[in-house]
Each structure stands twice: as structure tokens, then as C-alpha cells.
Amino acid sequence: MKAYIYPNLDKNNCAEYTHEACTILSRSSVELLMDSAYQSIFGSLDLLDYKTHEECIADCDVVIVIGGDGTILKCAEAAARKKKPILGINCGRLGFMASLEHEDLELLSGLKNRKYTVSPRMMLSVKTSDGITYNALNDIVVSKADDCKIADFKVSKGGTTISYLRADGVIFSTATGSTAYSMSAGGPIIEPETRCIEFTQMCAHSLFARSMILLPDSEINVLLHCAEGSHAIVNVDGNNIARITDKAEITITSSDLTLDILDLKGDSFFGSVNEKLMQPLKGSTGEILK
């Protein structure tokens, strides 16, 4: 088995976790790949074979991401395109997609013997008005820009209007993304293997704004209305990919891509809900400000 080690050194303790993870995996005779960009940092580890990011994705059997959910999002599309599963090790704060915490690293010894479950995750696709298509694991957000005081959004499914609203924006998320921005905007938590598209309104000017759960084969069109000279932003998995103007339209569907997330513990999602949403976060604001 070959594992591509993908660390995010901006995260606290990531270098330490990476060393420990590599040592444990090497004891289990797992071959380790890493992007050559990190060779100057981890060169003392003679366990690693350095290649380009693209070569590592192509050659590996599994991508081991050491960071947080944002780090998983960074390599999700590339892994999905090559049909390579991802195993996450959390050294961020929430870490819903990462199945392992630091205290769980010894479980990596069971990776080669396939002591894990596979969680297939649906992805979304968005086509902007210029015809470019992007894929998302978590969510697609259309929100008014700083130069836009008021924005109206017409949301249609299959040619039928399902919502016409004045709001700060609209969120379309997968079940995986239901615990991200959508949840913060009042959307429900959805078990991550569920195939659906969640539609959540952001600060809608309405007493009756509620999330909707749409079928996975839905084709959703969003038409923007805003003042001349103002804009809205299209955001895919936290990345701003387009600025759109009045009467611009985008189309959202399920993606042809699916990403497999590996779970070595067996209770990662509901354990995260209970432990991380019902209790103060690691590195809470109070601790950060001390």
C-alpha cells in the first residue's frame, strides 16, 4: 500500500503529527509519498519518497491529510478525479471529515489490513454564466459583495421557481457540508452519506425562511437581481471563483465525482457531533484571546 502524506504546516502541531504518523505507517510496511515541496522540512525522515503533488495523487492508494477539514477540501477534487480515498488526521479545531485525532494515531497501523469503513460522499457541480464548471465537496455559496446593499435571488428547479427571496445569499450544500456554513445559517445536520442537495438562505428578509432538502438529481438555477454596478460572489468550498452582476445565472447539479472518506474509528461523524458541537471548541475564542 502507498499513502500520500498531505500536511498543512499552518496548523499547530502538524509537523509533530506528521512525524508520528509516518513512523507508525512505516512500521506497518506502508510506502510513504510526499510532495517534494516539503523535502527541506521533512528531509530527515528517510521513510518518504518525494514526488510532485500530481505524481503522488496518481501513484498512491490513499491520501492521508494532516490538518483540518479545509485541508481535506484543498485536495478533495484531485483525489476524487483519481478515485483515491482520503483519510483525515485532525490538528485543526472541528475536523468533521477527519476521523482521527492525535490520540488515535496508533489506529493507523490497521490501515494496510483495511480495518476501516468507507464513507462515499456526494459532490456538487456549479456552472457559472461564463460556462466554467467547478466542483464542491462541501458547498456552493452565492452572496452579495461589499458593493451590493440589496440582492434578490430567484431559485428554480427544473424551470419551476421554488424561492424568490431578498437575502445576504444562498447556500447549496452536500450532506457533508451540512455541518459547515449551512449549519451556521440555520440549516439541519444531515448524515454525510445521504445523497441530497441542501438549500439554505442566509439572513433572508422573511419570517418563513427555512432550509429545503432537494433530490440529488435536481438541476437548480440561481438568478441574481442587484443594482447596476454591484455584484455577488460565487464561492466554492471556501474559494471565491467568480463575481457576477445583475441578471447573471448559475446552474447547480450533483457532480459526476464522488469522494471516499475512510474512517478507522467507526463513530467519527456522530462522535464529532456529540463531542465538538455540544462542547466548547478546541482553541475557543477565550483561549485564543488570552
143-172: pLDDT as tens digits: 999 999 999 999 999 999 999 999 999 999
Other C-beta atoms closer than 10 Å to the C-beta of 40 total 7
Query: What confidence score (pLDDT) does residue 92 get?
Result: 72
pLDDT at 289 over 50: no
Query: What confidence score (pLDDT) does residue 16 get?
Result: 94
pLDDT at 192 over 80: yes
pLDDT at 282 over 90: no
Active site amino acids: 69
Q: Is residue 2 classed as helix, strand or coil in its secondary structure?
A: strand
Average pLDDT over residues 84-94: 89
pLDDT tens track for 222-234: 999 999 999 999 9
pLDDT tens track for 200-257: 999 999 888 899 999 999 999 999 999 999 999 999 999 999 999 999 999 999 999 9
CA distances from 212 to 86, 120, 170 (A): 29, 22, 11
Average pLDDT over residues 18-44: 95
The residues of the chain that CATH labels 2.60.200.30 are 123-257
Average pLDDT over residues 10-32: 95
Alpha carbon of residue 141 to chain centroid: 13
In whole angstroms, what is the distance from residue 204 CA to residue 168 CA? 7
Average pLDDT over residues 139-145: 97
The residues of the chain that CATH labels 3.40.50.10330 are 2-116+264-289
pLDDT at 287 over 60: no
| For the chain, percent of residues with pLDDT exceeding 90 | 81
What is the band of 130 on the pLDDT scale with cuts at 50, 70, 90?
A: confident
Average pLDDT over residues 40-55: 93
CB 92, CB 276: distance < 8 Å: no
Query: What confidence score (pLDDT) does residue 206 get?
Result: 87
Q: What is the mean pLDDT of the chain?
A: 92
Q: Which CATH number fits domain 2-116+264-289: 3.30.70.3040, 3.30.1330.10, 3.20.20.370, 3.40.50.10330?
A: 3.40.50.10330
What is the band of 280 on the pLDDT scale with cuts at 50, 70, 90?
A: low
123-257: CATH topology: Tumour Suppressor Smad4 (2.60.200)
- Alpha helices (H) along the chain: 14-27, 39-42, 53-59, 69-81, 181-184, 268-272, 285-289
